[in-house]
Structure formats: C-alpha cells, structure tokens
Amino acid sequence: MPDVRKITIDQKIQEANDLIADRIREKRREYNIPMVDIMGSVGSGKTSILEFFAQKYRSSHKILVINGDLATDIDAQRIGRHGSTCLQINTGRGCHLLAFQIESAFEEIDLTNYDFIFVENVGNLICPSATDVGADKKIAVTSITEGPYVFQKHPITFKISQLAVLNKIDLAPAMELDVDSIISQANDLYPLLETIPTSTKTGTGMDVLAKRVGLEPK
C-alpha cells in the first residue's frame, strides 16, 4: 500500500492568517479605530474614492490608508497629497494583502494618531475576497466601464462583501448602460448587499458611501 498523505498547507496558512486578523481586530478595538478593506479591479476607482474622502474629511478625521500594490507607490502618493497618512505595501507577485502585512504596517505608526483606517487592497476583484486582513467590512468596488456583467461574474466577492460600489456612473451614457438596471440586477443577485452608485468626478453618491462606511461627518 503506498504511503500517500494529503497535507492541507493552504488551510494552515489560512488559519495562521485568520489568527493575525483577529489580533488586528482586537488591537483596533483597544484604540477604537474602524477599518475597511476596499477591493476592486485596477482602474475601478478605489484610489479616487480614497482621495475624495481624504480631501473631504481632512479637517474632521485622521485617516490612515494602507495601500497594497504590486510594485509602485503611485496610489499612496496620490492619497498622501490630500493630507492622509499612507503606508505602502508592495506585494511583488502577491495578488492580495495578508493580515501579517497589515500587522507589520501597524508597527510603523502610532495608532493613537488615527481614527479611521482604509486598506486599498491589490487591484483585482478575485484574490482579496479570500483573505481576512482584520477589517470590520469588505467593500467591493466596480465601475460602469467594466461592463454589465461584473456582479454576475464575481459571486464570491459580492457574497462576502458588506457593501458594493458601482463607480463612474457619469460614464453610463458613453458606455450605453443603464445604472438602475445594473443596480437592480445586483440587488436580485445579492439581496443582502447594498450597492451604492457613485461618481468621484461629480460627487454623486459619495456622501451616502461615506455614511455607510462609517465616515460620519463630526
């Protein structure tokens, strides 16, 4: 009889990650700082949303952004210009952030200086959904320029998200797409998920989004 053993490394790595994610949540509870993990394809508007918030809430909130990117610090630089602190994590080939990277980022800063943390995860709508980075909420951002099928094609991502964003609605006429019908399609597919239509260019929906993520005006 051959000695064949199945070693579930993936599960162990996942368990180790989840322990760190719980530790992150515990630490944030101590400091009373909410944290939101923003997922979405490259170009959907994640950084633009964070720039909008950094600018709008710069005098009322102390926002920390942790940016995941394969190789550059372009997004951190963009957001940093609006006054938020940004910590850049380059993942190389890693298609999503891991909890230990967030925990290491926390070691670089004094958490008492912040009252809200955003994580901009690595740009894609698949891998980040599988990993807990210790946030309170995961938000899935898609945009009208990605076409009408994104909600259908990413069931896991939208099922595990607490909130979804359909960004770039100002471009709906150019895309010949109807925002209401995409939103109602999303509502039919994921009845428990709220999908907020936004445009970072016109500001449409951005106040609703801020409220839902917990960035209340102080």
Q: Which residues are near Mg ion by CB under 5 A?
A: 46-47, 75
Region binding ligand GDP by CB under 6 A among candidate stretches 27-35, 61-69, 103-111, 167-175: 167-175
Distance CA 213, CA 211 (A): 6
Residue 143: both structure tokens together = 């945009």
Member of 19, 42, 70, 130 binding ligand GDP (CB under 6 A): 42
By a kind-dependent CB cut-off of 5 to 8 A, residue 148 interacts, out of ligand GDP, Mg ion, none, with none
**Look-up of token digits 């891998």:** 127
**Neighbouring-strand partners of residue 138:** 37
Does position 25 interact with ligand GDP (CB under 6 A)? The reply is no
d(CA 47, CA 76): 8
Nearer to ligand GDP, 129 or 199 (CB): 199
Binding of residue 23 to ligand GDP (CB under 6 A): no
Query: 107 to 166, contacts with ligand GDP by CB under 6 A?
Result: 123
Q: How many residues bind ligand GDP (CB under 6 A)?
A: 17
Residue type, 117: I
Partner whose binding site includes residue 161, from Mg ion, ligand GDP, none (CB under 5 to 8 Å by kind): none
Q: Which amino acid does the sequence have at 23?
A: R
Residue 167 binding target from Mg ion, ligand GDP, none, CB below 5 to 8 Å by type: ligand GDP
Binding residue (CB under 6 A) for ligand GDP from 20, 37, 39, 45: 45
Which of 40, 128, 197, 205: binder of ligand GDP (CB under 6 A)? Answer: 40
What lies within 8 Å, CB to CB, of 168 at 6+ separation is 44, 45, 143, 144, 145, 199, 200, 201
The sheet carrying 85-90 orders its strands as 85-90, 63-69, 116-120, 35-40, 137-143, 163-167, 194-197
Place of tokens 């449409």: 204
Q: To the nearest whole angstrom, how small is the minimum distance from the Cβ of residue 118 to Mg ion? A: 11
Q: How far is CA 206 from the centre of its chain?
A: 15
CB 41 within 8 A of CB 124: yes
From 22-30, 44-52, 56-64, 101-109, give the range in contact with ligand GDP by CB under 6 A. Answer: 44-52
Which residues are at the interface with ligand GDP (CB under 6 A)?
A: 40, 42-48, 75, 123, 167-168, 170-171, 199-201
